[in-house]
Amino acid sequence: MTASRLSFQLSGQRALVTGSASGIGLATASLLARSGARVAMNDLAEERLQHEVALLQSEGLEVVALPGDLSQSVMATQVALSAAERFGGLDYLINNAGAPLTRTPIPPADLDRLTDDFWDRILRINLLSAFWMTQALSSVLLESQGCVVNTVSEAAFGGGASSTAYATAKAGLAGLTRELARGLAPKVRVNGIAPGLVNSPWECSFGDTEAYAKQHVPLARVGQPGDYAEVIAYLCAGATYITGEVILVNGGSQL
């Protein structure tokens, strides 16, 4: 893997990254903080979140923990407003929180496992949380002329996800990204990334992803959290004429 040559100068910028106790969210929060931004980190896994925040703080980075369950609109709003209050505003909102809610993929033909409760929980955390967070922070982001980046999924464009419900929620998030870009223009940009395979502690196991990637992904490897964080940071720090787009970041797996 070729090392990144990108660097970002984000001194004075303020960010909130959800789902940031591990994986893409943690890599993104770390990259933004190391680039000079003040970062609020949110996750449902409070103990793990506090541990990661403490490690980053020990390096002298300006990060704070804001644990909370974003699948509940009241809590999502509370976390969002707490971040804005803590920093006196906000420049970047990274809606990364998401979960498959299954340890093994649910086959598309197995409709009986897609219960009302499963659908409700999937939609709340993978789709509605991004709306609630953006809604709560819309005035703050308009004031700072900031940006929003949503973590979608390549499953939104081609299936093959942990479940039909998850793929549908992420397709909805891609649509929400476009509509929020319309609604918050011209002052706020709203974009997304659609990750492919990720080397992270994901709840749902897809088997030997490294072997799969070597055979089916043109770049012949599984994506690392930093690969995705780099694109998110670019959409925050630059890309000033891009909005309403969801960028596939998957090593070419859908070519």
| Catalytic residue annotation | 166
Residue holding tokens 């890599």? 27
- Give the three-state DSSP class for 41: strand
The rounded radius of gyration (Å) of the Cα atoms in the chain is 17
> CA-CA distance, 136 to 191, in Å (whole number)?
18
**Plot region of 180 (φ>0 → left; ψ -120 to 50 → alpha; else → beta):** alpha
Cβ(3)–Cβ(11) under 8 Å? Answer: no
CA dihedral sign of residues 7, 59, 21, 212: positive
Beta bridge partners of 147: 92, 189
- The one-character DSSP state at 223 is B
> Sheet containing 92-95: which strands, arranged edge to edge?
63-65, 38-41, 14-17, 92-95, 147-151, 189-195, 246-249
> CA-CA distance, 150 to 127, in Å (whole number)?
10
Tokens, residue 194: 């659609």
